[in-house]
Each structure stands twice: as C-alpha cells, then as structure tokens.
C-alpha cells in the first residue's frame, strides 16, 4: 500500500470523526470519504483495500469506541476493532470488483462503476452487524455515519428507510464527488500523487452523467422526505392512529421529564439505597408541577431491586411525591413479575429484569421489561418481550429502555402496535464521561424521524429532551444538571414509509452487495495492471 493511500484513509477517518462529534460539522461527512474512495480504486491488492477501508471506518467508529468504553469498561478497543472488520471486507471487495470489471469492461469504466457500487456495500457493512437476527445479543448498532446528518436536511431521508438510508445518501454524495475528481484529475490531484488512477479522460461521459443523475435523485429524495400522509401506513397501523394534532390543534399531553442526577454508586451499594430513595422522593414534589399528565423518571430511578411484594409500596411512595393525579413512569431493577396481572417480562419466578413501571389511577397499569440487554453489561438479566403500548391521557405510548432506543426496528414495532409517542428512559451515570449520553440523544432524534412520532428522553444524569417528529430538540435539560423538564407534547401521525415497509433499504443493500461479491469472486484475478 502506498503512503498516499494510507494518508487518504487517515484523512477520511479524521474528517468523519469531526463530523460525528456534536460540533455542528456534520456536513463534513458528505465529502469525508472521497480520499478513501479514490485510494480504494487505485489499489491492486485486496489486503491493501481492506486496510484502507478499515482505517476510514474508524471515523464513524470513534464515537462507537467512546460508547463501548462506557459500556464495556475494558473491552472497548477490541469491540471497535471488531466493528471495523465488515468495512475491511468492503475494501477488499472494492479492489477485486474493480479488477473483475476491468477484465470485462476496461479499466476506465471499472473505476467509475466500482465507485457507484461502494455506497451500497458500505451501507450493508453498517446494517448487517446491527441486526440481532444475525449476531443475537452481541450487537452494538452505533457505527452508522447517517447519525452525522441529524442537524441537516439529509437526515429526513431516514423516513424512507431508517438511518441506513441516510448513510447511503452520505456515501452516494462522496462517490459522486469522487467521480468528478476522477473526471478532472489534472485539476484536482497533482500528477503522480495518485499513481494508478485513470487520467482525466479515462472516465466515460456516460458514467459521469450517471453519477450526476444519482446526485440529483438523492437531492430530490432529501427534499421530498417530509411527513407523509397516513394513507402510507399499513392497515393495522392506520387503524390505530389518532387524528394528528397540528400546531394549533388539540391539547396533547402534559409531561414532566425528571432528571434526578443520582450517582451510579447508589444502585450498587446497599448502604446507599435507603438514602438514595429518600433523596429521590423528597425532591420529586418540588420538581414536578401540578397538572402534569405523565411524569417520567429515568431507568433505574428507584434504587435497588423491586419485587412483586414491594411494588405496591414503592409505586405509592413515588406517586405520593407528585402533586396532582397524573401517571408516573419509573424504572427499577425488578425481580419476578410473572405473578402480576399486568403485562410483564414473561420471565420465570425470581428472574431479574430491568423494568419500567407505569402507575396510574391509583394502580399499577403497565410493566415493560427491557428487551435489548447490553451485551456483557446485563448478562445476568432476563430479556422481556417487544415493547407494548399503553394509553395515558388519551395518548397511546410505548416505553423504550436505554439500549432499546438504538434499534430502529424496536421503535417501528411499537409504532405499528399503535404508539403515537415513544418514551426513552436511560441511566448513563456509569458512562457520563463518555459519548453514551450524546448517542442516546442522537438515537432518540433519529427514531423520531424514522417513525414520525415525538420522542421523550428521560436520563438520570442527562441530557433529557423532548424531540419532535422531525428530530428537532424542542426542549432539553443539560447533562449533569438535576431538575425537571415540563412540556406539552402532541402525538404524531406515525406515517412514514419506514414504518410501513420496515428494513427494506438495508436488506436491499445487503442483496446488492452479495451480487457484487459474486461478480468480484468470479473475475477478480483477470486484471493484470493499473489503468
């Protein structure tokens, strides 16, 4: 591998890292991969392509690294390196695909067509490892470059096919720009710097026209990705959807998101449990005003485990701390709720779950046990079922606990079940110094765009936020600041193509990548030299 290729990979990784940080530099991702893509189509050895792609992928993986540092303590480096493996395969595929196409179509067209194929392969490398169907519980769906676009109009493409569609758009923009760089190589790259690349005249006009056409299509898709009519929903979702409340229509639901800021040690040290409980209940009345329909406390807000016998007392203590008759949702470690006549984990007697309890109307109304358990970190817990829907103040909503918010399919499933508001509860006190809190907010914003419903994020140490269906944060509490956030939220339509069609986009990129791999495998050794 040439030093130029190595520098190109590092340059791409650094630019994507900057774009992935909450610095307002998301636009950099639209050009960040150009150096790496140009390097990939100049290389002759598959292992060199694998190295370039793996290094470039560490840009979006940098945030995942910080998250893994918070989640896995000592295994974050290994987790990040493992996450780079699919992209290394994409890099090797790119080299072999160009060689195979060159044998059939000539080197000029091969370089252009490989560039046009890479966005699908790269997106597949993001999407496939995020599927629990493939990797089971050991899934960390954090490396999507599409998250860099949350503050840009390009993020709205998630309504079409989840965050995977946004990632594809980002890579397509980079590929189109790389085509332009190839076409005008003499003006963009000094002669001899990118040895092995085709000369400026080597890319046929039809390929350039195709690249320009793709750019126009993705731009049009971005502009057209707005809330769709409810007719786009499948019958079961449309039947459950209430009439949408516009800006001046309907009262919505009054909510309070409580950010208690309890230290992480309170949940694990028995000596601290009683004091933590007292501090929590003593502050709730002053934090939450009267007239609130729903008060939401974060994951594990009630320190210490709650069993079936203690639940009534615990719920009564929490509810009594509030002023008014509103519902209270709070998280707590739970033990054995199969005996309760409420939706529960389906776990056996004595099984430990990470649960969310809804106390309304003077009684326990709903229990949701966390379905997606953090790999390794929650290995001793039992997973619950898919999120169920419960109605509060006339609004159907569904809770998502922490890690569950990272899965677009879980949010979609809740919306298909009738939810018109998603409530995410999390406790990031253990990882407050990492990027975990930032990622939870980014995930909540992307889930809102994908599903077309507002999202409430209640975090122990923050940031807590109210997110509208367009992914905009309309109100928030900063991290590491105790308090309560009150807002009136109107239910969403839940009318997006993603809700109706599911993971069609990611699946399509996976199928296309399989076809590209077949082409590369059959003819990968036919090409004998550079263009």
> 225: which residues sit within 8 A by CB, 6+ positions away?
156, 157, 158, 159, 160
**Domain 252-494, second-level architecture:** 4-Layer Sandwich (3.60)
CA neighbours closer than 13 Å in the CB half-sphere of residue 173: 20
Higher pLDDT, 331 or 255: 255
- Give the Cα-Cα-Cα angle 185, 188, 191 (nearest 5 degrees): 60
Q: Say how far residue 522 (Cα) sits from the centre of its chain.
A: 36
End-to-end CA distance of the chain, in Å? 17
Task: Please tell me which of 37-51, 208-222, 325-339, 353-367 the model is most confident about, judged by mean pLDDT.
Answer: 37-51
Look at 365 and 101; give whichever has higher pLDDT: 101
- 392 pLDDT band, cuts 50/70/90, is very high
Q: Choose the weakest-confidence range: 75-79, 110-114, 119-123, 453-457.
A: 75-79
pLDDT in tens, 65-109: 555 555 555 455 666 677 788 999 999 999 999 999 988 888 878
CB 219, CB 30: distance < 8 Å? no
pLDDT tens, position by position, 316-339: 777 777 756 788 898 888 776 543
Give the helix/strand (H/E) hosting 77. Answer: helix 76-105
pLDDT of amino acid 210: 53
What is the DSSP annotation of 351-419?
-EEEEEEEEETTEEEEEEE-SSPPTTTTTTS----SPPPEEETTEEEEEEEGGGGG-HHHHHHHHHTT-
Could you give the dihedral angle defined by the CA atoms of residues 512, 518, 524 and 526, in that order, rounded to the nearest 10 degrees? Answer: -110
Does the structure show a pLDDT above 60 at 349?
no
- The per-residue pLDDT for 462 is 81
Query: Is residue 356 scored above 80 in pLDDT?
Result: yes
Bond from prior residue into 463 cis (ω within 30 degrees of 0): yes
Of 94 and 265, more confident: 94
Give percent helix, percent strand, percent coil of the chain, each to the nearest 5: 55, 15, 35
Using alpha carbons, list the distances in angstroms from residue 490 to 18, 81, 241, 247, 391: 35, 42, 13, 8, 14
d(C-alpha 220, C-alpha 340), whole Å? 52
Question: How far is Cα 52 from Cα 10, in angstroms, rounded to an integer?
Answer: 8
Which residues are CB-neighbours of 473 under 8 A, at least 6 positions away? 441, 445, 465, 466, 467
Domain range annotation of the chain: 3-233+504-523, 252-494
pLDDT value of position 431: 74
Q: What pLDDT, on a 0 to 100 scale, did the predictor assign at position 79?
A: 65
237 forms beta bridges with none
Predicted pLDDT at 237: 32
Kindly calculate the radius of gyration of the chain based on its CA atoms and give it in whole angstroms. Answer: 25
**C-alpha–C-alpha distance, residues 167 and 157, integer Å:** 9
3-state secondary structure string across 210-252: HHHHHHHHHHHHHHHCCCCCHHHCCHHHHHHCCCCCCCCCCCC
* Whether the predicted pLDDT of 404 surpasses 70: yes
CB 2 within 8 A of CB 195: yes
**pLDDT band at residue 129 using 50, 70 and 90 as cut-offs:** confident
Sorted by sequence, the CB contacts under 8 Å of residue 506 that are 6+ apart come out as: 123, 124, 127, 128, 131, 161, 162, 164
Mean pLDDT check: name the lowest of 273-282, 327-336, 456-465. 273-282
What percentage of the chain exceeds 90 in pLDDT? 38
* Mean local confidence (pLDDT), 16-42: 89
**Res. 213: pLDDT tops 70:** no
Residue 368, pLDDT above cutoff 80: yes
- What pTM value is reported for the model? 0.84
Give the pLDDT confidence of 428-445 residue by residue, as tens digits.
887 777 777 888 899 999
Cα distances (Å, whole numbers) of residue 243 to 141, 168, 169: 33, 33, 32
What is the structure's pLDDT at 61? Answer: 64
The SS3 call for residue 423 is strand
């Amino acid at each position: 591998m040439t030093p130029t290729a190595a520098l190109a990979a590092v340059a791409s990784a650094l630019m994507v890292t900057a774009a992935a940080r909450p610095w307002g530099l998301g636009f950099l991702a639209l050009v960040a991969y150009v150096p790496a893509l140009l390097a990939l189509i100049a290389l002759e050895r598959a292992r060199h392509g694998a190295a370039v792609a793996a290094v470039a992928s560490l840009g979006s993986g940098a945030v995942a690294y910080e998250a893994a540092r918070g989640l896995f303590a000592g295994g974050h480096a290994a987790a990040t390196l493992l996450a780079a493996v699919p992209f290394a395969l994409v890099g090797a595929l790119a080299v072999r695909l160009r060689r195979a196409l060159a044998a059939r179509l000539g080197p000029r067209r091969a370089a252009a067509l490989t560039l046009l194929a890479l966005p699908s392969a790269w997106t597949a490398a993001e999407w496939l490892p995020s599927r629990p169907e493939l990797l089971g519980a050991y899934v960390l769906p954090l490396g999507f470059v599409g998250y860099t676009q949350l503050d840009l109009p390009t993020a709205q493409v998630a309504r079409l096919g989840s965050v995977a569609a946004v990632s594809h758009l980002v890579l397509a923009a980079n590929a189109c720009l790389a085509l332009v760089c190839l076409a005008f190589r003499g003006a963009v790259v000094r002669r001899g710097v990118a040895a092995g690349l085709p000369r400026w005249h080597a890319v046929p006009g039809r390929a350039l026209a195709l690249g320009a056409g793709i750019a126009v299509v993705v731009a049009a898709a971005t502009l057209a990705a707005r809330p769709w009519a409810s007719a786009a929903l499948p019958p079961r979702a449309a039947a459950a959807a209430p009439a949408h409340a516009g800006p001046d229509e309907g009262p919505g639901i009054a909510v309070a998101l409580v950010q208690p800021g309890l230290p992480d040690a309170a949940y694990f040290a028995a000596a601290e449990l009683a004091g933590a409980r007292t501090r929590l209940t003593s502050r709730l009345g002053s934090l939450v005003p009267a007239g609130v329909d729903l008060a939401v406390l974060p994951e594990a807000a009630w320190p210490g485990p709650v069993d079936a016998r203690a639940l009534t007392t615990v719920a009564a203590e929490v509810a009594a701390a509030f002023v008014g008759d509103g519902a209270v949702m709070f998280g707590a470690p739970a033990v054995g709720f199969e005996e309760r006549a409420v939706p529960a984990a389906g776990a056996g007697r004595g099984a430990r779950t990470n649960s969310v309890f809804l106390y309304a109307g003077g009684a326990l109304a709903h229990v949701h046990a966390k379905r997606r358990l953090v790999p390794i970190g929650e290995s001793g817990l039992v997973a619950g079922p898919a999120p169920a829907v419960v109605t509060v103040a006339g609004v159907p909503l569904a809770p998502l606990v922490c890690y569950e918010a990272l899965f677009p399919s879980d949010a979609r499933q809740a919306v298909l079940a009738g939810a018109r508001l998603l409530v995410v509860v999390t406790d990031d006190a253990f990882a407050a110094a990492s990027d975990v809190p930032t990622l939870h907010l980014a995930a909540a914003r992307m889930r809102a765009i994908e599903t077309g419903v507002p999202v409430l994020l209640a975090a122990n140490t923050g940031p807590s936020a109210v997110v509208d269906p367009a992914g905009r944060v309309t109100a928030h509490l900063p991290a590491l600041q105790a308090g309560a956030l009150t807002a009136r939220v109107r239910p969403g339509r839940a009318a997006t193509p993603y809700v109706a069609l599911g993971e069609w986009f990611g699946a399509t990129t996976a199928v296309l990548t399989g076809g590209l791999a077949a082409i590369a495998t059959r003819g990968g050794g036919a090409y004998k030299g550079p263009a």
